[in-house]
Amino acid sequence: MFETRYYTRFDKEYPDKLRFIRDPPAGIYVRGDLPDPDKKTVAIIGARACSQYGRNMAEYFARQLAMNGVQIVSGMARGIDGVAQKAALSEGGRSFGVLGAGADVVYPKENRDIYEMIQGHGGLITELPDGTAPLPMHFASRNRIISALCDVLLVIEARVRSGTAITVSYALDQGRDIFAVPARLTDPLSAGCIKMISEGAGIAASPNDILKSLGLMQEEKVKGSDGSKINLKNLTRDERAVFACLDLYPVSIDEIVRMSRLSIDDAMASVMSLCIKGIAKECSSCNYIRSR
């Protein structure tokens, strides 16, 4: 079993992202690992009483992000938080739970499986000593740790007045990017998301939107001409650079040259080999799209 470790603000293990916010915790209790500062981190949060749609979205986004090596931070609560973390872990990704109780307290009880799994594939973080009970007053302040640890905050289903809204306002203070998953306008469970979007949050129409904002490559794997999956890592550097320029609407070779900064002959050669591999398609001479 894992031991609880304690780091003060002045220890070098203490995450920098946390150290430099307005009101950093004096110290943190950790079980398992801390998030890898060299990897991108996304916090997925949302309503505890979520709909099936929210559940599906949380699972989809978490899986896709985890597949691309993104660490998922959340509050390990019921609903969206738990679903997202579970999905990330089952995809083989890493996840971190920020708790509103002591690190040895499993709360809520139904998330015991996550609690067990997370300690080998991520970690538990809290500012409260072991044995502290999950009292309501603790949750609002632990939210500032969630928002501090992430690069992008993704909101899936939130009411206008909710714990999620508190996390979002912390994230705004701390300068984190906020994305919200859109849903039906009349759905009170998503009214918070819609409001955030209208106030300038990014629309998370697909996991790619988040990945792009994180500056990560698009999917590592794409479908080839014969239906087999092609790992983008197996492409040459030029081919990857060209692939990053392609989109679902035609992009001309000149635009590819400008975006990829390759020479025209290299760009042309790369885009052709992508066409032959079936990853790209020529829609009219010298115009290319990604093949679906």
Partner 1 sequence: MYSYVATLSLYGLDCKEIRAEADMSDGLPVFEVVGFLSGEVKEASKRVKTALKNSGIVLPPKRITVNLSPAYIKKCGTSYDLAIAVALMKAMGLIPKDKDRGMAVIGELSLSGEVKKVTGVLPMVIEAKNLGYSRCMIPMDNLKEASCVEDMELIPVSYLQDVIDHYHGAYVPCIDHENTGCICENDTVGVDLRDVNGQESCKRALEIAAAGMHNILLIGPPGSGKTMLAKRLPTILCEPDREEMLEITKIYSIAGLLTADTGLITERPFVSPHHTATPISLSGGGINPKPGECSLAHRGVLFLDELPEFSRQTLEILRQPMEDRIISISRQQGRCIFPADFLLCAAMNPCKCGYYPDRTKCNCNSEDVRRYVGKISGPLLDRIDLCGRAMRIDYKDLKQKGSNVDSKTVRMRVEKAVAIQRERFRGTRIRFNSEIGPGDIDRYCHLGTKQEKLMKSAYECFELTARGYHRIIKVARTIADLDGSEEIKEEHISEAIGFRTIDGRYGNV
Q: Nearest to residue 100, comparing CAs of 78, 116, 73, 76?
A: 76
- Residue 220 or 282: which CB sits closer to partner 1? 282
Among 225, 229, 234, 237, the residue binding partner 1 under the rule CB under 8 A is 225
**Residue 90 interacts with partner 1 (CB under 8 A): yes or no:** no
Count the neighbouring beta carbons within 10 Å of the beta carbon of residue 175: 8
The footprint of partner 1 on residues 30-49 (CB under 8 A) is: none
Listed in order, strand segments (DSSP E) in the chain are: 5-8, 27-32, 41-46, 71-74, 95-98, 122-126, 152-156, 177-180, 202-203, 221-223, 229-231, 251-252, 280-284, 287-290
CB of 188 to partner 1, least distance (A): 37
Closest distance of CB 290 from partner 1, Å: 13
Give the separation between CA 193 and CA 93, rounded to whole angstroms: 26
Q: Which residue stretch of 15-23, 77-85, 179-187, 283-291 sits at the interface with partner 1 (rule: CB under 8 A)?
A: 283-291
Residue whose CB is less far from partner 1, 118 or 256 = 256
Contact 59, 89 (CB under 8 A): no
φ, ψ of residue 263 to 5 degrees: the values are -75, 160
Residue 216 touching partner 1 (CB under 8 A): no
Separation of alpha carbons 168 and 262, rounded Å: 40
Cβ-Cβ contacts under 8 Å for 214 (sequence gap 6 or more): 40, 42, 70, 151, 152
Pick the closer one to partner 1 by CB: 49 or 276.
276
CB of 151 or CB of 239, closer to partner 1: 239
In this structure, are residues 189 and 51 in contact, taking their beta carbons and an 8 Å threshold?
A: yes
The DSSP secondary-structure symbol of 246 reads: -
Tell me the C-alpha distance between 28 and 21, whole Å.
Answer: 14
Q: Per CB under 8 A, does 287 bind partner 1? A: yes
Query: How many residues would you count in the chain?
Result: 292
Residue 160 vs 272, nearer CB to partner 1: 272
Minimum distance from residue 219 beta carbon to partner 1 (Å) = 22
Q: How far is the CB of 170 from partner 1 (least distance, A)?
A: 39
Per-residue x/- marks for partner 1, 242-281, CB under 8 A? -------xx-xxxx-x------xxx-xxxxxx-xx-x---
Residue nearer to partner 1 on the CB measure, 4 or 273? 273
Q: Which lies closer to partner 1 via its Cβ, residue 127 or residue 238?
A: 238
Interface residues with partner 1 (CB under 8 A)? 225, 249-250, 252-255, 257, 264-266, 268-273, 275-276, 278, 282-287, 289
